[in-house]
Chain A
Amino acid sequence: MTDVARLLQSRSFVELGARQRARALLDEGSFRELLDPFARVTSPWLPKQGIVTQADDGVVVAKGTLDGQPAVIAAIEGAFQGGSMGEVGGAKIAGALELAVEDNRNGIPTRAVLLLETGGVRLQEANLGLAAIAEIQAAIVELREYRPVTGVVAGAVGCFGGMSIAAGLCSYLIATREARIGLNGPQVIEQEAGLDEYDSRDRPFIWSLTGGEQRYASGLVDAYVADDADAIRAELHRLFAQGKPPQPRSRRHAWFLQRLADVDIRTQLDAAAVRALYQGDAQ
């Protein structure tokens, strides 16, 4: 196939909204949304601050099948309030994962996929967003013991704040070239640490450190895929078929602490230095 033909055939995933993304990944015809927009469970806190709500609070929870197996997908809509986690959207994700845990306890092998497109806590709901993220994290760790939990960071928002920690808890992480994964947003780092430490306007620099390709090359994500719905679905099938990883990345404290002891702290790091440090027996 020529490049042009391939380009014409591919379906951009990044350009899809949260609902379309969930639909595109689940087996055809199996998509069933829970607490859909017509249920109108919206943020109780945004109107108090003069901010227009979205009918689904920016989170789509859908059940269906994935490669023939029962699945639940929670997809975050990055276009609404930067994909931020408020009380309702956060409870939708946490609640869905908690029910998936119950399913597994009862012998139903429900697997979970998180489509992460989020700046982290919604500051207008601050402490309730943070609490919800703690509960999402708790549920990932519990569900992961039964069945892989797979996160997808496609872009364009990326995955930041407390939800980047949630990403770090997933059994598997998939990223595209458009994805960025990091704890702190570039502007916040620049504000807190200064321009010399982090220039938030230097996009190539930020991408070189936190972009999907770099995260893959340094072993912090498991799969690096094209921005294409079919490719992402195929990768999901492949990772779920592998079953649980022998040791989740978040349990590898001994290995990471050993690596961090080797960091030359006198200079700043570039992308190549990080790859060199984390490559080798990382995978």
Chain B
Amino acid sequence: METLSFEFPAGQPARGKALVGVVGSGDLEVLLEPGQAGTLAIQVVTSVNGAEQRWQQLFERMFREQTPPALNIDIHDFGATPGVVRLRLEQGLEEVGHD
């Protein structure tokens, strides 16, 4: 198990909070809450060790195209593939956007 922290530039704080996913095999849980303006802070607790680079790249790719809202995101990962991670994050971002 490993705990990793990431930060990215962000816009204004999101309005709502959201929870998606479950800490089940090949899946992950994502908790999203409004953060400090300008900052997207992500904490990942993962069952898979030594994957910091992979997470970094995945987040960079996601947030390069579009500036995300300011959020504190907690991820509890149980061995999800990058595809599943991206799907859950997109789901979560859509939910906080709707509030």
Chain A contacts with B in 47-61, Cβ cutoff 8 A = 47, 50-55
B47 is an interface residue with CB less than 8 A from chain A: yes
In the complex, which residue of chain A has the Cβ closest to the Cβ of B28? A52
CB within 8 A of B19: which of A37, A51, A79, A80? A37
Number of interchain pairs (Cβ within 8 Å):
43
CA distance A77 to B25 in the complex (A): 13
A: number of interface residues (CB 8 Å):
14
- Taking chain A's interface residues, is the majority helix, strand, or loop, or is none over half, making it mixed? loop
CA distance A38 to B22 in the complex (A): 14
Q: Which of B5-13, B70-78, B89-97 contacts A (4 or more CB under 8 A)?
A: B70-78
A79→B27 contact, CB < 8 A: yes
Q: How far is the CB of A49 from chain B (nearest CB, A)?
A: 9
Query: A217-247 vs B: 1/0 string, CB under 8 Å?
Result: 0000000000000000000000000000000
Query: A74-88 vs B: 1/0 string, CB under 8 Å?
Result: 000101110000000
B23→A80 contact, CB < 8 A: yes
B29→A54 contact, CB < 8 A: yes
Chain A hits for B24, CB < 8 A = 79-80
CA distance A55 to B74 in the complex (A): 9
CA distance A51 to B78 in the complex (A): 9
B33→A38 contact, CB < 8 A: yes
Chain A hits for B86, CB < 8 A = none
A44 is an interface residue with CB less than 8 A from chain B: no
A55→B78 contact, CB < 8 A: no
Q: How far is the CB of B75 from chain A (nearest CB, A)?
A: 10
B39 is an interface residue with CB less than 8 A from chain A: no
Chain B contacts with A in 55-94, Cβ cutoff 8 A = 74, 76-78
CA distance A37 to B76 in the complex (A): 12
Known: A52-B76, A54-B22, A54-B23. 7 other contacts (CB 8 A): A38-B33, A47-B1, A54-B29, A55-B74, A55-B76, A80-B24, A81-B23
